[in-house]
Amino acid sequence: MRMTMGRTAVRLIAPPATILCAVLAAASLPLAAQAVGPARIVSYDVAPSTIVRASGGPALKADYQFEGNLRSSVKGAPRLRNVGDGNVFRRERVPGEGRTRVLVFPKGNGLKVQTKGLIPSTHYSVVMQFRLVTAGKPKYARILNPTLPADDNDNGLYLYNRHLVWYDGGDNAGKPRTVAPKKYVEVAFTRNATGKIHVYVNGKPDISYADGDDQAVIQNHLLRFFVDNANDEESKGAVSRIRLYNDALAAKRVKRIYDQGH
């Protein structure tokens, strides 16, 4: 994890007691003070009452790698749950991971996770690596929807043909030809506390959108993947990894995650 260091407190170790007492005697301090044993003197480049802690940015709260189960490798995170019957584990070759297990799902199926106590509903990040069979075809396939089923609407993140779309009463399309047919793609979706949405494809910025009507706010603490409503805008496919963070990742962090092997 990339760490951004703040102004850090500096600790100096005082000399042994014999030297310290000589210093105190020279200063004409009372004998009681001279009897002080080895001591630690703390020096700050900020006010002594303030300790600045190093900040690492958003924390990884869940990491689902589908190694034959739906558990997170990060302790404390809930299990993913299947939506529909027929999801199965298989081995496939995935960029950045080599030959690994993935979860293969038929059309109409997907996954869901309870986010209460895991990530905030208003500011979070999702990083996922997957492939959808409809890539390269003029069809919409839902990837992520934070409002279903509490608010049954069409808003959410989709794959259409070979690019991504954030739909909120209309298409907000990403760059063309960013998703190759039959290939895994890594998509990062972030929303910050002011409602700004950023979507990245394979570590590169793709969509930026101001979520003024809160359609990316997680409803009822339930996040669903690859599952649509009655409009049947779905695809069969496979997923190799899903990660959840407790705030919006910066662009540099998204790129680092992708460059480090997904």
Tell me the pLDDT of the chain (262 aa) as tens digits.
333 333 333 333 344 444 433 433 444 444 343 433 433 333 222 333 332 333 579 999 999 999 999 999 999 999 999 999 999 999 999 998 889 999 999 999 999 999 999 999 999 999 999 999 999 999 999 999 898 777 888 999 999 999 999 999 999 999 999 999 999 999 999 999 999 999 999 999 999 999 999 999 999 999 999 999 888 899 999 999 999 999 999 999 999 999 997 5
Handedness of CA 50, 51, 52, 58 (dihedral sign): negative
pTM over 0.85: no
Alpha-carbon separation of residue 106 from 86, 227, 242, 249 (angstroms): 7, 11, 18, 31
pLDDT of residue 152: 81
Structure tokens at 80: 């993913």
Domains of the chain, CATH where assigned: 1-56 (no CATH), 60-259 (2.60.120.200)
Q: Which of 251, 208, 244 is nearest to 123 (CA)?
A: 244
Residue-level pLDDT at 102? 98
Rounded to whole angstroms, the Cα distance separating 125 from 148 reads 18
How far CA 8 is from CA of 5, 40, 53, 54, 239, in Å, comes to: 7, 17, 7, 7, 41
My answer on whether omega of the bond before 30 falls inside 30° of 0, hence cis, is: no
The CA distance from 157 to 167, in Å, is 6
What residue type is 63 in one-letter code? Answer: D
Q: What does residue 208 show for φ and ψ, rounded to 5 degrees?
A: -130, 130
CA-to-CA dists, residue 237 to 70, 79, 90, 144, 145, angstroms: 17, 20, 12, 14, 17
Strand partners, 62: 244
Read off the tokens for 51.
């300790």
